[in-house]
A and B are shown apart, each in its own frame.
Chain A
Amino acid sequence: MFDYGHFKFENKQECLDTAIRYWNPDKTLFWQKAGIDLVIGRREGYCLYDMDGRRLIDLHLNGGTFNFGHRHPELIETLKGALDYFDIGNHWFPSVARAALSEALIKATPGMKYAIFGAGGAEAVDIAIKSARYATKRRKIVSIIKGYHGHGGLSVATGDERFSKIFLADQPDVFFHVPFNDIGAMEQALKSGDIAALIMETIPATYGFPLPNEGYLAACKALCEKYGALYIADEVQTGLMRCGELWGWQTYGIQPDIMVTAKGLSGGLYPISACLVNERAGGWLNEDGAAHISTSGGAELGCVVGHKVLEMLLRPETIANVHAVSAFFHEMMAEMMRRHGDIFTGVRQRGVILGLEFNHPEGAVYASRALYEHGIWAIFSSLDKRVLQWKPGVLLSHAMCEEIIDRFDAAMPRARELIRAATK
């Protein structure tokens, strides 16, 4: 019996049945078929526990939402303290929490002028696109093929048609897609002169973290300047120290006009996102600041948590830990490739963002399952199932990193078996 006070479930199966009946039958059944029978129960640090009590180390982190781990005590204390005083707040009025978080974000981020808050990444991307359209008085948006920027009205159209066509939300006349790492194609798209903005994840996550070629992002930015478009950096997965600096774009030496952050800014506890704009892109905030409204965007509780998240990220000890975790996986994944090079064939890495390449079109699905059986939860890339997303948290301990590698090593023979069976 799982008695949560407010509701009860006899067992995991009853929860699954209820989810199929009332929540999302396809999604629920998908995981059952994939051999991942997870219903998350207790969670703590970088560990999740299945309802049945099985422990899993979380290397999915929901794209960095749980950058500091699950339910970090310092963040819980922060949120609990905030609940004694704040609530969502009233978006119409200035607020101490929003003023403080926007100041902290802008002071930590070169080249930006204002922070506009949303409740999630997609909303912040929508704000970014609106801001770019306002500034340029142009409508069209360029993004990369297999890009992903969320599921809002505008943001979903920037992404892969897998998520837009089903809802008739693709807008091929206004949203253009060009191949990643192809600067010629980018220029072709931008030179029409009627593009409002290029939106780019600094490293495209859902595409399996293919790394931008040397100079590619800088060239894209230069093209934006040349043709009068704004550059929007989507930092939802690459920001918040995950590339080794606060924002991924800083590690590539570029200066976006607009950037978007979400997920980890919430501390995994209270949803919040932010769109940071430079003076030009933030023009509408001087002309008609009520043109965009969001009741729960910049909820004051989220602002307090976000403020703490930034403080924690900027500690020298946190930065040192990120570098230590990065170096550890850089070295150990090379060793793992030496041992398992027949199936595990490549690593893409920047900071604590890694994409592990398997030599089968669905290799990462099998690897994910084998790892799941060995106590690790890491998800494949939706838009390139050869690549396993490997997203260690910024505060991961050395002891747990060693445990992760030992489990990875032990899981590879099982992954090999699954891949071979699929190949026959």
Chain B
Amino acid sequence: MPEQALLKIPDAAYEQAMLKIERARWAVSRFQMMDHTATARVVQAAAAAAYAKSQFYAEWAVRETGMGVAAHKRQKNEACSKGLVELYGAEDFVSPRIDAASKIVELPRPAGVIFALIPVTNPVSTIYFKTLMALMTRNAIILSPHPGGKSVCADAARMLAQAAQAAGAPEGAIQVIDEPNIPLIEKLIADARVDLVVATGGPAVVKAAYRSGNPALGVGPGNAPVLVDDTADLKLAAKRIVASKSFDNSILCTNESTLLAFSAIADALLTALRAEGAHICTPEETSKLRNLLFTDDGFNTAIIGKDAGIIAREAGFTAPGAKILVTPVDLVQPEEKLVREKLCPVLAFARVGGIGQAISSARSMMRTAGRGHSAAIHSHNEAHIMAFSAALPALRVAVNAGCSLGASGFETYLGPSMTIGTGFAGGSSLSENLTPRHLVQFARIAYNRESSEIFGNFAGLDPLNLPQPTAAPPAAAILEQDSTALRQKLRQIILEELSAVLAA
């Protein structure tokens, strides 16, 4: 048998995936007919089902991707299911909004079909997050996992679809691409029937989303500086930084990349970090880590989300019990590879003379990566906080919080998000943490400003259930040839009654 098939055949996987888009379009048409109560029921059911499986999928994701920490993934899964519903559950993205003062009525217009790219780093939490936000806003979603996490993602997507559908969601509202590959995804995101691409992942993925020609919400890579000044509570700062940097082994793009410490408190901070479980590397160890983490092709992806102890061992030294590895560096400039984004529990460390040098260092490291993303500061000096935030090309600065969960909104009031907008600075149209509000637009009914033109009374008027037009259909033509006149007459009466019932 020859290995190559004798016939040239069509790409059935592509054709089948194209059918998914149309299936989603049908789901959108059904979803538009659902009111807030029905929508909320779907969201609650899907979130509850997701929450119940948090641990199950946390373990599976670690097993399949070889990245992260199951306990932390569970935490994210819980935050992206029950947590999201607690936060947004009371909000109504479905009903018309009446603003009598502006004489405007807003009618929600969901995006429609959302094509969601799911990263390998946070697979299930991102599936949960994007799906629940889509459901809250009555969008259909097609989930496209990274190939490295496709099995766990497909299973989680099907679980959500089943739970949502059982609670009344339209058939096809949640679908998944089982066998993703780049050429396939590039074709799908460019399809005119896709309304919005929400891309979370590496720069290549995000750029592809923007290139697609469809509206896209994509986000650039992170590379967060964290500053500890001389007014910070060092013990607390150290605790928060180690917890954040070790959270899911630094797999969130909001994780701290480089710690900048005021010289005056630097040694004390290192002592505090050590007490929290940080291993402070010697110059030799730092050099070994630099060689392990960065190859000629860039960051060594095999290290993403690995435990600190394992990374140390692979680099050629031991750091028993270490939660994170701290690598002191002299230069905070892009040519020092260790100050680039590192999705692993390795934290660069540098001393700065004061706020001025802190800012120039942070700006230097963000010059090649991390623009528009995140930063953190541990300080009680508002002038420092303001100066740092105003000068950096970051769009969110977490204060006295770990950056991983602070900038991503779980430990601040930014709004928990697995998709961090990097704004114009970071090549994105989205500057905030992605929330349901970004997935719905509004049609506006706007009255004449003239005071003589009175704003209508729209209270209680439901666009899904408007009164039927009262005008009767044209009178039946009298058809002499028709031998079944009586039957026609009866039908007419039935129709009129039907119209009356439906209009009631």
Binds A, one of B56-64, B334-342, B474-482: B474-482
Chain B contacts for A397, CB-based, 8 A: 22, 25, 193
Q: Nearest-CB distance from A310 to chain B (Å)?
A: 13
Task: Bits for B450-485, please: 1 = Cβ < 8 Å to A, else 0.
Answer: 000000000000000000100001111111111010
B16 touches A315 (CB 8 A): yes
A10 interface contact, C-beta 8 A: no
By the criterion of a CB under 8 Å from any partner CB, how many residues of chain B are at the interface? Answer: 39
In the complex the two chains form, what is the Cα distance from A345 to B494 in whole Å? 10
Chain A contacts for B15, CB-based, 8 A: 74, 312
Chain B contacts for A320, CB-based, 8 A: 23, 26, 171-172
In the complex the two chains form, what is the Cα distance from A311 to B13 in whole Å? 12
Binds B, one of A36-44, A80-88, A193-201: A80-88
Kindly count the residue-residue contacts between A and B in the assembled complex, taking CB atoms under 8 Å apart.
109
Chain A contacts for B479, CB-based, 8 A: 359-360, 419, 423
A423 touches B480 (CB 8 A): yes
Nearest to B492 among chain A residues (CB) is: A341
B7 interface contact, C-beta 8 A: yes
Determine which residue in A82, A308, A317, A423 has the highest number of CB atoms from chain B within 10 A of its CB, and name it.
Answer: A317
Q: Nearest-CB distance from A68 to chain B (Å)?
A: 11
A346 interface contact, C-beta 8 A: yes
Name the contact of A359 in the complex, choosing from B9, B22, B482 (C-beta under 8 A): B482
A342 touches B476 (CB 8 A): yes
A337 interface contact, C-beta 8 A: yes
B491 interface contact, C-beta 8 A: yes
Chain B contacts for A82, CB-based, 8 A: 7
Task: Bits for A342-358, please: 1 = Cβ < 8 Å to B, else 0.
Answer: 11011000000000000
In the complex where A338-B498, A361-B481 touch, is A317 in contact with B23 (Cβ < 8 A)? yes
A318 interface contact, C-beta 8 A: yes
Chain B contacts for A395, CB-based, 8 A: 19, 22
Q: Nearest-CB distance from B216 to chain A (Å)?
A: 21
Chain B contacts for A328, CB-based, 8 A: 29
In the complex where A321-B23, A341-B473, A398-B29 touch, is A77 in contact with B9 (Cβ < 8 A)? yes
B368 interface contact, C-beta 8 A: no
Q: Nearest-CB distance from A127 to chain B (Å)?
A: 28
Majority-rule SS of A interface residues: helix
Q: Nearest-CB distance from B26 to chain A (Å)?
A: 4
A73 interface contact, C-beta 8 A: yes
In the complex where A337-B495, A395-B22 touch, is A361 in contact with B10 (Cβ < 8 A)? no
B6 interface contact, C-beta 8 A: yes
B23 touches A343 (CB 8 A): no
Nearest to A346 among chain B residues (CB) is: B491
List B residues 116-169 near A (Cβ within 8 Å).
Answer: none
In the complex where A320-B171, A338-B498 touch, is A398 in contact with B26 (Cβ < 8 A)? yes
Chain B contacts for A402, CB-based, 8 A: 29
List B residues 37-92 near A (Cβ within 8 Å).
Answer: none
B20 interface contact, C-beta 8 A: yes
In the complex the two chains form, what is the Cα distance from A315 to B495 in whole Å? 38
Q: Nearest-CB distance from A339 to chain B (Å)?
A: 6
In the complex the two chains form, what is the Cα distance from A78 to B11 in whole Å? 10
In the complex the two chains form, what is the Cα distance from A317 to B25 in whole Å? 12
Determine which residue in A337, A359, A395 has the highest number of CB atoms from chain B within 10 A of its CB, and name it.
Answer: A359
In the complex the two chains form, what is the Cα distance from A395 to B193 in whole Å? 14
In the complex where A73-B10, A317-B23, A318-B19 touch, is A339 in contact with B480 (Cβ < 8 A)? no
In the complex the two chains form, what is the Cα distance from A318 to B499 in whole Å? 34
B481 touches A304 (CB 8 A): no
In the complex where A341-B492, A420-B477 touch, is A81 in contact with B22 (Cβ < 8 A)? no
A383 interface contact, C-beta 8 A: no
In the complex the two chains form, what is the Cα distance from A87 to B74 in whole Å? 59
Q: Nearest-CB distance from A309 to chain B (Å)?
A: 12
Chain B contacts for A341, CB-based, 8 A: 473, 476, 491-492, 495-496
Name the contact of B477 in the complex, choosing from A81, A84, A321, A423 (C-beta under 8 A): A423
B22 touches A342 (CB 8 A): no
Q: Nearest-CB distance from A67 to chain B (Å)?
A: 14
Chain B contacts for A304, CB-based, 8 A: 7
B1 interface contact, C-beta 8 A: no
In the complex where A321-B23, A337-B495, A360-B482 touch, is A416 in contact with B477 (Cβ < 8 A)? yes
Name the contact of A81 in the complex, choosing from B7, B20, B488, B492 (C-beta under 8 A): B7
In the complex where A321-B23, A397-B22, A423-B481 touch, is A84 in contact with B7 (Cβ < 8 A)? yes
Chain A contacts for B7, CB-based, 8 A: 81-82, 84-85, 304
In the complex the two chains form, what is the Cα distance from A8 to B22 in whole Å? 39
Chain A contacts for B28, CB-based, 8 A: 398
In the complex where A320-B26, A359-B482, A361-B481 touch, is A342 in contact with B8 (Cβ < 8 A)? no
Q: Nearest-CB distance from B28 to chain A (Å)?
A: 8
B12 interface contact, C-beta 8 A: yes
Task: Bits for B484-504, please: 1 = Cβ < 8 Å to A, else 0.
Answer: 100010011001101100100
Q: Nearest-CB distance from A72 to chain B (Å)?
A: 9
A321 touches B482 (CB 8 A): no
In the complex the two chains form, what is the Cα distance from A342 to B172 in whole Å? 37
In the complex the two chains form, what is the Cα distance from A58 to B7 in whole Å? 32
A324 interface contact, C-beta 8 A: yes
Nearest to A361 among chain B residues (CB) is: B481
Task: Bits for B368-407, please: 1 = Cβ < 8 Å to A, else 0.
Answer: 0000000000000000000000000000000000000000
B8 touches A80 (CB 8 A): yes
B492 touches A342 (CB 8 A): yes
Q: Nearest-CB distance from A184 to chain B (Å)?
A: 23
In the complex where A338-B498, A419-B477, A423-B477 touch, is A81 in contact with B9 (Cβ < 8 A)? yes
Chain B contacts for A323, CB-based, 8 A: 171
In the complex where A315-B16, A321-B26 touch, is A338 in contact with B477 (Cβ < 8 A)? no
Chain B contacts for A74, CB-based, 8 A: 10, 12, 15
Q: Nearest-CB distance from B18 to chain A (Å)?
A: 9
Name the contact of A345 in the complex, choosing from B29, B488, B502 (C-beta under 8 A): B488
In the complex the two chains form, what is the Cα distance from A74 to B26 in whole Å? 22
List A residues 40-85 near B (Cβ within 8 Å).
Answer: 73-74, 77-78, 80-82, 84-85
A291 interface contact, C-beta 8 A: no
In the complex where A339-B473, A345-B491 touch, is A361 in contact with B482 (Cβ < 8 A)? yes
Chain A contacts for B25, CB-based, 8 A: 397-399
A342 touches B23 (CB 8 A): no
Nearest to B503 among chain A residues (CB) is: A338
Task: Bits for A374-416, please: 1 = Cβ < 8 Å to B, else 0.
Answer: 0000000000000000000001011100100000000000001
In the complex where A304-B7, A423-B481 touch, is A342 in contact with B19 (Cβ < 8 A)? no
Sample 27 A-B pairs with CB under 8 A, ordered by A number. A74-B10, A77-B9, A81-B10, A82-B7, A315-B19, A317-B23, A320-B171, A321-B22, A328-B29, A338-B498, A339-B473, A343-B476, A343-B477, A345-B488, A345-B495, A359-B479, A360-B479, A360-B481, A361-B482, A395-B19, A397-B22, A398-B29, A402-B29, A416-B474, A419-B477, A420-B477, A423-B479
Question: Which 10 residue pairs across A and B have the least CB separation, nearest first?
Answer: A317-B19, A81-B8, A341-B495, A77-B10, A324-B26, A342-B476, A81-B7, A74-B10, A398-B25, A74-B15
Other than the known A81-B7, A397-B22, A399-B25, what 10 A-B pairs have Cβ atoms closer than 8 Å? A73-B10, A74-B12, A317-B20, A341-B473, A341-B496, A342-B474, A361-B482, A419-B479, A423-B479, A423-B480
Chain B: residues with CB nearer than 8 A to chain A? 6-10, 12, 15-16, 19-20, 22-23, 25-26, 28-29, 171-172, 193, 468, 473-482, 484, 488, 491-492, 495-496, 498-499, 502
